Amino acid sequence: MSQNELVDLQYAKELLENPGLAARITDALGIAIDKGFELLPAQWSDVVQQATKESLRKALEFAVMTMDDRSRVSSGSFLHKMLAATSGAVGGAFGLPALTVELPVSTIIMLRSIADIAWSEGEKIKTLEAKLACLEVFVLGGKSPGDDSTETGYFVMRAAFAREVSEVAKYIAEKGLAEEGAPAIARFITTITSRFGVNVSEKIAAQAVPLIGAAGGALINTIFVDHFQDMGRGHFIIRRRERVTGLTRLNVNTRNCD
C-alpha cells in the first residue's frame, strides 16, 4: 500500500472516530445534553421514532427519484449549512412540535450534502447502489450499545446491514417505490432508524434546554450536518479504496495507519 493510500485511510479513520454528536454539541454550547433529556415531555421518544421513520422514508424516495450525477456542488457547501441552520432555527424556536416538519427537511439537506461528498469521491450517484450507500451514512452516525469501538462498529455495521441493502436494492429495481409497505423497505428503514434515531434524540434533547431558542437550534443543526458530512467522507473514502482494490469490503485494520 502506498503512502498516499495510507494517508487516505488514516484520514477516513480519524473522521469515523471523531467524537459523537452529543459530545460535539456539549463542547459547542457548554451544556450537558442529559439535562435536556430530563426536560422532554412524556412519550417524546415515540414522537422522535415516528418522525425519524417518516424522514427516512422521504429521504429514500428523494434519493431514488431525484438524485443523479448532474449539478453536483462542492461537499460541505455554505448552501447546505445555511439551509440546515435555517431549519434548525425553526426547531429551536418551536421545540418538539416542529420536529415533524423540521426533521424531514434537515434529513434531505444532509442527504444531498452526503451525495455531493460521494460524487467527489468517485461515486456514480445515478446508480441505485450509490444512492443506498448515501443513506447508509445515517446508520454510521449513531453508535449502538453493542459497539466496542467506532472502527469495529463501522465494518461490523456494514456487514450486518448488507442484507437489508441487498434486499431493498433488488426490490426497488424490480418494483420501484410503489409499495412502501413492502417488508424489504420496512426493514431497511427500521434498521437506519434504530441508529439515526439516537442522534436525532440527542439533537432534540439539546434543543429542549432552556434559552437555546432559534439561534441555538441553528447551531445544533449545523453541528448535526457537520457530523454526518464527516461520517460520509470517511465512508466514501473507504468505498473508493474498495473500488481501486477490487474488494467488496476493504479488509484493512486502520490501526496500522497510526
DSSP track, 86-139: HHHHHHHHH-GGGHHHHHHHHHHHHHHHHHHHHHHTT--TTSHHHHHHHHHHHH
Average confidence score pLDDT of the chain: 79
Among residues 235, 244, 24, the alpha carbon closest in space to that of 115 is found at 235
Question: pTM (2 decimals)?
Answer: 0.82
- Among 24-28, 155-159, 231-235, the range with the most confident prediction by mean pLDDT is 231-235
Query: Per-residue pLDDT for 75 more than 80?
Result: no
Task: For residue range 158-173, list pLDDT tens digits in order.
Answer: 888 999 999 999 999 9
pLDDT-derived band at 212, boundaries 50, 70, 90: low
Task: For residue range 85-104, list pLDDT tens digits in order.
Answer: 555 545 554 456 667 778 88
Hey, where are the domains in the chain? Answer: 3-257
Q: Contact at 8 Å (CB) between 109 and 87?
A: yes
Rounded percentage of the chain residues whose pLDDT exceeds 90:
28
Q: Contact at 8 Å (CB) between 251 and 131?
A: no
Over residues 206-214, the mean pLDDT reads 69
Query: Per-residue pLDDT for 73 more than 70?
Result: no
pLDDT-derived band at 118, boundaries 50, 70, 90: very high
Distance between CA 187 and CA 163 in Å, rounded? Answer: 10
